[in-house]
Amino acid sequence: MSKKTTQGITVKKDQDFSEWYTQVIQKAELIEYSPVSGCYILRPNAYYIWEKVQQYFDQLIKQDGVKNVYFPLFIPESLLMKEKNHVEGFAPEVAWVESGGHSQLGERLAVRPTSETIMYDAYAKWIRSYKDLPLRLNQWCNVVRWEFKHCTPFLRSREFLWQEGHTAFANKEEAVKEAEKMLNLYEQTFKELYAIPVLKGRKSDGEKFAGAEFTLSVEAFLPNGKAIQGATSHHLGQNFSRAFNISFTDEQGQKQLAWQNSWGLSTRSIGVMILMHSDDKGLVLPPRVAPVQAVIVPILFDDSKKKVLAAAEMIKKKLEARGVLAQIDAREEYSPGWKFNEWEVKGVPLRLELGPKDLAKKQVVVARRDTGEKKEFKISEVSKVIPSLLEYIQFSLYNKAEKLLQERLVKVKDSPAAEKEFQKGNYIYAPWCAEAKCEESFKEKTGGKSLNSPLKQPKVSGKCFNCGNPAKAWFYFGRSY
């Protein structure tokens, strides 16, 4: 028992957020540290979440006609450097392979930080005519970025998992439409699986991907008052098709450059979900990503053990028949209270307590992880009640997060007001000039930055809230994680 006596979370979420996070991810058995700094082991509980997200998003994009591929992990240096803009700022993060066994390689190979270059090199060979378009490919893979900032599991790691979609179109309109469509699919994934509402919109020029014409993002707002990016969808224009000569002959026989997008969602999103829903007791999992959705804890006494265990088995079977992932915790070396704590730390959405007294009344006590509420249900009703309760919890987590998102948004007229709102843990919406210089000055003054700008927005008039120049668009700003 010794190893497990410090099972609970010993700090509060709003007291020491980073220590709290570190404890949650370890005690919920999501993460183990590895011998390589910045690289983390995703344990079964974490990998299960990623598999759920993969299945969900993969099915969405396949329905839309995207096909999956796999490109090599290694990218020759000359290829990586072909589009200067996009590598420039990132160069310090590239990890290199310089030898194989005892022999030096003729050319260094980058461990992929992202796959634009290696994929577009092939796209140039595959795309000849307008009939080859659109080309819409995606890959699920790992990427490496040798971070020098402090790493945090899920949120910033030197290796992470993601999907990267890379598409090419015959015209700009189609490409732009797709970039927006993918943003909606990210919104849907955050909503339906992670129970997280997002702010959708366009990044400022200062915050966009340097290789893109524009970058769209989904941003989440956390209970600690900070905003965090969830996923991105870039319209690349002809920046890469020019550099990689991805050209096609159009219907009029004219040679044209393809219009491109790239879009990505990574395991970082798991970190966003943890930060959003979890509490002082540990992890809180939305039921749709929970590897165990209902745990049955039988209260065992010598004289009634057999009966209670048999009833627990029967309940488990009923739940499984309804598609609920159920488990019985019949360990005798731990007390019921100890087990309750353990399953709370692990974020299991529902706990079913079943003792001899409950059995006599033909009932179970059901405890919700998200609210702590307890309620009795007839055993005859569990197979009906539990599946709908799980769905209810899924929506209720979403609604709680949505309420936070609405309540913490404040419209402001100037930067002192913005600063005040940030200090209160809010984020803001303001008319902005959208100039990089203005954003810099705002960052220095307030510690906040622009998040994004909704695609459909109110009419803009008057002055920039920060610098007083004419305003160009409504933007969200916040302190970011």
Rule CB under 6 A: which residues touch ligand 86X?
80, 86-87, 90, 93-94, 113-114, 116, 145, 164, 209, 232, 234, 262-264
Ranked by CB distance to ligand 86X, the top (closest) residue is 264
- Are 197 and 164 in contact by the 8 Å Cβ rule? The answer is no
Q: Rounded to an integer, what distance in angstroms lies between the CA atom of residue 422 and that of residue 161?
A: 32
Q: Is the peptide bond before 197 cis (omega within 30 degrees of 0)?
A: no
Q: Which has the closest alpha carbon to 105: 75, 147, 70?
A: 75
* Cβ 216 to ligand 86X shortest distance, Å: 10
* Cβ 266 to ligand 86X shortest distance, Å: 8
Other residues' Cβ atoms within 10 Å of the Cβ of residue 364: 27
Residue 188, both tokens? 């849907």
Choice between 62 and 424, CB closer to ligand 86X:
62
Label residue 169 exposed, middle or buried (CB < 10 Å: 0-12, 13-18, 19+): buried
* Cβ 232 to ligand 86X shortest distance, Å: 5
| Angle subtended at Cα 359 by Cα 355 and Cα 363, rounded to the nearest 5 degrees | 100
Choice between 231 and 428, CB closer to ligand 86X:
231
* Cβ 143 to ligand 86X shortest distance, Å: 8
* Cβ 89 to ligand 86X shortest distance, Å: 8
Choice between 38 and 264, CB closer to ligand 86X:
264
Q: Rounded to an integer, what distance in angstroms lies between the CA atom of residue 165 and that of residue 154?
A: 20
Choice between 215 and 415, CB closer to ligand 86X:
215
Choice between 175 and 294, CB closer to ligand 86X:
175
At 94 the three-state DSSP class reads coil
At 244 the three-state DSSP class reads helix
Choice between 264 and 282, CB closer to ligand 86X:
264
Q: Which residues contact 437 (CB under 8 A, 6 or more apart)?
A: none
* Cβ 226 to ligand 86X shortest distance, Å: 21
* Cβ 236 to ligand 86X shortest distance, Å: 9
Choice between 218 and 352, CB closer to ligand 86X:
218
Q: Rounded to an integer, what distance in angstroms lies between the CA atom of residue 427 and that of residue 419?
A: 9
